[in-house]
């Protein structure tokens, strides 16, 4: 029988070897992509033919990650795009189709869905706002997009059952807390031998956040605003401008949660992109633009307090998104600054 210490060492060696094999498998799969090219090309050509879209050149793969691949298809008019989603984003095609059906003009136009695979064909959406605008025009576009997005969130409450049925992650209060506890417990295995993994003291502090997180969620719930669809990655890389109209795309990280959790990513990235502090007037104006459609639910001071709670809790939702990616695609976060531990540190900073 192995001594306990020897047994632990053997288990650690086995675990490292297994993670190494998983990473190698991921790299090998990445060479082909999450969908076989021949099948993607065949479906694309047949679907375009059936829609009367004339392809005018080679189909080009313009994005490849373990969670999704995107192909640009030149046509005799605007280009169209095929997005093939991996397991963590398998809900995205049907979700995007629902949004296009119910809220036309807010998202890219969905032309077709694959009958059995999480693939979709979408119309040209335009330029990303980070490439199209800067300065005041960039901020003006955000002030126009955010109220439209909030109005969609209000109306989407009636579709929550269908949205969850697509496999969209559930980040409502109970699931959010349970998922966070699980993420903290499993961080050592996911961070592995990274030098910036969570420390013993940080882990102790993270474990102690459960009560404060529950209290914050309880306070947020007092306004009675229903859980709904939440993009979870609404930033300047995921908004397009086409013919002067902004549309939101890339719903692969979307979840069902309190709507205000969306502000974590949106305000953090807007401040970074414009080199403003989080409490500068320009960033506060974006928050208030988002809150305006909720003004019948509470006074603006009450909504601002709730928005700040939502922004802080939103970092927990973002951590669960990273957690799902880290588990599904071993090693994929190794090249990310801070890795999975970095998302936990953002939560710790918000609740310390």
Task: Determine the Cα–Cα distance for residues 306 and 219; give it in Å rounded to an integer.
Answer: 8
pLDDT at residue 27 is higher than 90: no
> Does 8 fall in a domain?
no
Residues 274 and 292 in one domain: yes
Residue of higher predicted confidence among 194 and 300: 300
Contact status, residue 91 vs residue 99, Cβ threshold 8 Å: no
Range of the domain at 70: 37-123
Q: What's the rounded mean pLDDT across residues 76-99?
A: 97
| pLDDT mean over 25-48 | 77
Its pTM stands at 0.90
Please indicate, yes or no, whether residues 136 and 170 belong to a single structural domain of this protein.
yes
CATH assignment of the domain containing 265? 3.90.1200.10
What does the pLDDT read at residue 2? 46
Averaged pLDDT, 193-218: 95
Which of 184-193, 275-284, 330-339, 343-352 comes out lowest in average pLDDT?
330-339
Residue 286 placed within a domain: yes
- pLDDT score for 20: 52
User: Could you tell me if 266 and 136 lie in one domain?
Assistant: yes
Residue % of the chain over a pLDDT of 90: 84
For 206-264, what is each residue's pLDDT tens digit? 999 999 999 999 999 999 999 999 999 999 999 999 888 899 999 999 999 999 999 99
**Same domain for 101 and 147?**
no
Pairwise CA distance, residues 131 & 118, whole Å: 28
The average confidence (pLDDT) of the chain is 91
Is the alpha carbon torsion for 46, 51, 52, 57 positive or negative? negative
More confident call, 341 vs 1: 341
Does residue 15 fall inside a structural domain?
no
Domain count, the chain: 2
Instruction: Please state the separation of Cα 308 from the chain's center in Å.
Output: 20
CATH number of the domain residue 87 falls in: 3.30.200.20
What local confidence, expressed as pLDDT, does residue 194 receive? 86
Tell me, what's the pLDDT at 154?
98
Residue 295 lies in a domain: yes
Q: Residue 91 carries which DSSP code? A: T
Residue among 212, 232, 196 at smallest CA distance from 340: 196
State whether 306 and 243 are in the same domain: yes
- Structure confidence at residue 33 (pLDDT): 58
* Out of 16-20, 99-103, 237-241, least confident range: 16-20
Q: Do 43 and 132 share a structural domain?
A: no
- Strands (E) across the chain are located at 60-65, 68-73, 80-85, 110-113, 119-123, 127-128, 228-230, 239-242, 245-248, 255-257
- Is a pLDDT exceeding 50 seen at residue 29? no
Contacts of residue 79, Cβ cutoff 8 Å, sequence gap at least 6: 72, 73, 124
In this structure, what token pair is assigned to residue 86? 């991996």
Cβ atoms 240, 129 nearer than 8 A: yes
The answer to the question of residue 9 being in a domain is: no
| Within a domain: 3 | no
- Check: CB of residue 217 under 8 Å from CB of residue 313: yes
Residues 101 and 193 in one domain: no
Q: How far apart are alpha carbons 93 and 110 in whole angstroms?
A: 8
* pLDDT for the residue 11: 45
pLDDT in tens, 289-315: 999 999 999 999 999 999 999 999 999
| pLDDT over 70, % of the chain | 91
Q: Which of 74, 100, 123 is the last residue of a domain?
A: 123
Mean pLDDT along residues 23-47:
74
pLDDT of residue 5: 54
Which residue, 98, 123, 148, sits at the end of a domain?
123
Do 294 and 185 belong to one domain? yes
The pLDDT of residue 3 is above 70: no
SS3 106: coil
Q: 111 with 182, same domain?
A: no
Residue 9 pLDDT: 46
Give the pLDDT of residue 344.
97
| Position 200 in a domain | yes
Q: Are residues 118 and 213 in the same domain?
A: no
* pLDDT recorded at residue 22: 47
Question: Domain check: are 171 and 293 in the same one?
Answer: yes
| Per-residue pLDDT at 335 | 79
- Choosing from 90, 123, 156, the residue where a domain stops is 123
Q: How far apart are the first and last CA of the chain?
A: 45
Shared domain check, 263 and 160: yes
The predicted structure's pLDDT at residue 106: 95
Q: What is the pLDDT of residues 153-175, one digit of tens each?
A: 999 999 999 999 999 999 999 99
Residue 332: its pLDDT value, please? 86
pLDDT, one tens digit per residue, over 128-154 is 999 999 999 999 999 999 999 999 999
Is residue 1 domain-resident? Answer: no
């Amino acid at each position: 029988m192995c001594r306990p210490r020897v047994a632990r060492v053997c288990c650690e060696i086995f675990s490292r070897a297994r993670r190494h094999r998983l990473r190698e498998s991921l790299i090998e799969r990445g060479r082909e992509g999450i969908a076989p090219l021949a099948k993607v090309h065949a479906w694309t050509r047949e679907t375009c033919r059936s829609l009367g879209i004339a392809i005018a050149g080679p189909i080009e793969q313009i994005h490849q990650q373990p969670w999704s691949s995107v192909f640009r298809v030149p046509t005799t008019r605007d280009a169209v795009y095929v997005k093939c989603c991996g397991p963590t984003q398998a809900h995205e095609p049907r979700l995007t189709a629902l949004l296009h059906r119910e809220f036309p003009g807010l998202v890219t136009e969905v032309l077709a869905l694959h009958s059995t695979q999480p693939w979709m064909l979408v119309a040209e959406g335009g330029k990303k706002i980070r490439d199209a605008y800067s300065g005041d025009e960039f901020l003006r576009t955000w002030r126009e997009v955010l109220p439209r997005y909030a109005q969609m969130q209000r109306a989407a409450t009636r579709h929550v059952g269908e949205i969850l049925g697509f496999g969209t992650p559930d980040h409502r209060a109970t699931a959010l807390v349970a998922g966070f506890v699980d993420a903290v417990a499993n961080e050592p295995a996911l961070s592995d031998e990274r030098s910036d993994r969570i420390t013993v003291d940080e882990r102790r502090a993270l474990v102690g956040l459960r009560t404060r997180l529950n209290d914050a969620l309880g306070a947020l719930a007092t306004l009675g605003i229903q859980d709904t669809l939440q993009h979870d990655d609404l930033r300047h890389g995921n908004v397009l401008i086409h013919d002067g109209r902004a549309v939101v795309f890339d719903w692969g990280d979307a979840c069902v949660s309190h709507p205000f959790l969306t502000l974590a990513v949106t305000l953090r990235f807007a401040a970074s992109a414009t080199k403003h502090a989080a409490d500068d007037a320009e960033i506060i104006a974006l928050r208030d633009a988002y809150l305006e459609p909720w003004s019948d639910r509470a006074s603006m001071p009450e909504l601002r307090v709730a928005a700040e709670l939502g922004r802080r809790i939103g970092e927990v939702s973002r951590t669960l998104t990273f957690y799902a990616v880290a588990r599904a695609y071993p090693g994929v976060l190794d090249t990310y600054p801070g890795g999975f531990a970095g998302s936990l540190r953002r939560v710790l900073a918000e609740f310390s």
